[in-house]
């Protein structure tokens, strides 16, 4: 299929983007890497009447080390993440996204805004307590990843909002584990653990409509439990949905194993309780 007809605007600035989005009153879409939006348009699952291309906006493509965090501009590509060394967890997660062509075009902010339940970066965002800088018609605001993801491909962002950067705190210890049917496929289950200010977060992706914290598993660790105990708790607290890629029971078993591996990678919960 081909996309429905649309107008194309090449935005030169953040202000122009927000103004075109506001004028279109919900009918416009931002075009970043196009790796999710364009296939959806081709299938006519998305039919924006205006595409606002942000790729030529200056100064949105930097990866900056800030105080205890790494700030990633809206036009930073997945491949840029794999190449940087400031945030090793981000580098590792980005390696699991699709294939070279997708990583070369797809953007970090695009992945966060798109909110695919099986995507890697929303899981990392929630695990590290990331925040997005969002500019809309009423100005700039900071939105925490905890308040961002509300459903499959659904966020709390408004139609007129542009994410200009995402700030990912640097964990003192971290682990990443993913299970996919083939290399480059979307994850069946992703587990990310991150230690920040001595508190450990465990987040699972691919097991429901949004990435979710395994808070019971986190509590097990906080009480001195082992990684194995935490993995068992994580498997019990989630309510995975089954589909043709894997049953709910299969996902639950894989989730436990991914949590175990992520915690082993972080060196967390490896001693005796």
Ligand X SMILES: Cc1cc2nc3c(=O)[nH]c(=O)nc-3n(C[C@H](O)[C@H](O)[C@H](O)COP(=O)(O)OP(=O)(O)OC[C@H]3O[C@@H](n4cnc5c(N)ncnc54)[C@H](O)[C@@H]3O)c2cc1C
Contacts to ligand X by CB under 6 A: 29-37, 39, 74, 97-98, 102, 106-107, 109-111, 113-114, 116, 119-121, 161-163, 186
Instruction: Select 110 or 175, whichever has its Cβ closest to ligand X.
Output: 110
Q: How far is the CB of 86 from ligand X (least distance, A)?
A: 20
Distance between CA atoms of residues 68 and 197, nearest Å: 11
Number of residue whose CB is nearest ligand X? 106
Q: How far is the CB of 235 from ligand X (least distance, A)?
A: 23
Instruction: Select 209 or 228, whichever has its Cβ closest to ligand X.
Output: 209
Q: How far is the CB of 166 from ligand X (least distance, A)?
A: 9
Instruction: Select 135 or 200, whichever has its Cβ closest to ligand X.
Output: 135
Q: How far is the CB of 216 from ligand X (least distance, A)?
A: 26
Distance between CA atoms of residues 154 and 191, nearest Å: 21
Instruction: Select 102 or 264, whichever has its Cβ closest to ligand X.
Output: 102
The 3-state secondary structure of the chain, one letter per residue = CCCCCCEEEECCCHHHHHHHHHHHCCCEEEECCCCCHHHHHHCCCCCCCEEEECCCCCCCCCEEEECCEEEEECCCEHHHHHHCCCCHHHHHHHHCCCCHHHHHHCEHHHHHHHCCCCCHHHHHHHHHCCEEEEEECCEEEEEEHHHCEEECCEECCCCCCEEEEEEEECCCEEEEEEECCCCCCCCCEEEEEEEECCEEEEEEECCCCCCEECHHHHHHHHCCCCHHHHHHHHHHHCCCCCECCECHHHHHHHHHHHHHHHHHHHCCCCCCC
Instruction: Select 35 or 226, whichever has its Cβ closest to ligand X.
Output: 35
Instruction: Select 113 or 194, whichever has its Cβ closest to ligand X.
Output: 113
Q: How far is the CB of 273 from ligand X (least distance, A)?
A: 35
Q: How far is the CB of 14 from ligand X (least distance, A)?
A: 10
Q: How far is the CB of 243 from ligand X (least distance, A)?
A: 16
Instruction: Select 205 or 269, whichever has its Cβ closest to ligand X.
Output: 205
Residue pair 28/50 in contact by the 8 Å Cβ criterion? yes
């Amino acid at each position: 299929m081909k996309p429905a007809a649309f107008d194309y605007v090449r935005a030169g600035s953040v202000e122009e983007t927000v103004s075109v989005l506001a004028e279109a009153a919900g009918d416009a879409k931002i075009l970043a890497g196009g790796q999710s939006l364009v296939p959806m348009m081709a299938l006519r699952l998305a039919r924006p009447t205006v595409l606002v291309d942000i790729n030529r906006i200056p100064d949105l493509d930097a990866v900056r080390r800030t105080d205890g965090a790494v700030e990633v501009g809206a036009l930073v590509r997945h491949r840029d993440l794999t190449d940087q060394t400031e945030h090793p967890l981000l580098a590792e997660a980005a390696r699991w996204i699709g294939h070279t062509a997708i990583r070369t075009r797809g953007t970090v902010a695009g992945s966060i805004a798109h909110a695919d339940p099986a995507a890697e970066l929303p899981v990392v965002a929630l695990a590290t307590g990331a925040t997005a800088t969002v500019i809309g018609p009423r100005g700039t605001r900071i939105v925490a990843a905890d308040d961002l993801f509300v459903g499959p491909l659904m966020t709390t962002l408004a139609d007129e909002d542009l994410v200009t950067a995402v700030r990912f705190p640097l964990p003192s210890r971290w682990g990443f584990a993913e299970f996919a049917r083939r290399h480059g496929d979307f994850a069946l289950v992703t587990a990310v653990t991150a230690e920040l200010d001595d508190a450990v977060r465990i987040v699972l992706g691919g097991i429901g409509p949004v990435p979710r914290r395994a808070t019971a598993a986190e509590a097990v660790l906080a009480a001195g439990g082992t990684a194995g105990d935490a993995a068992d708790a994580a498997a019990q607290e989630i309510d995975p949905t089954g589909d043709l890629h894997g049953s709910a029971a299969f996902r639950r078993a894989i989730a436990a194993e991914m949590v175990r591996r992520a915690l082993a990678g972080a060196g967390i919960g490896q001693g005796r309780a």
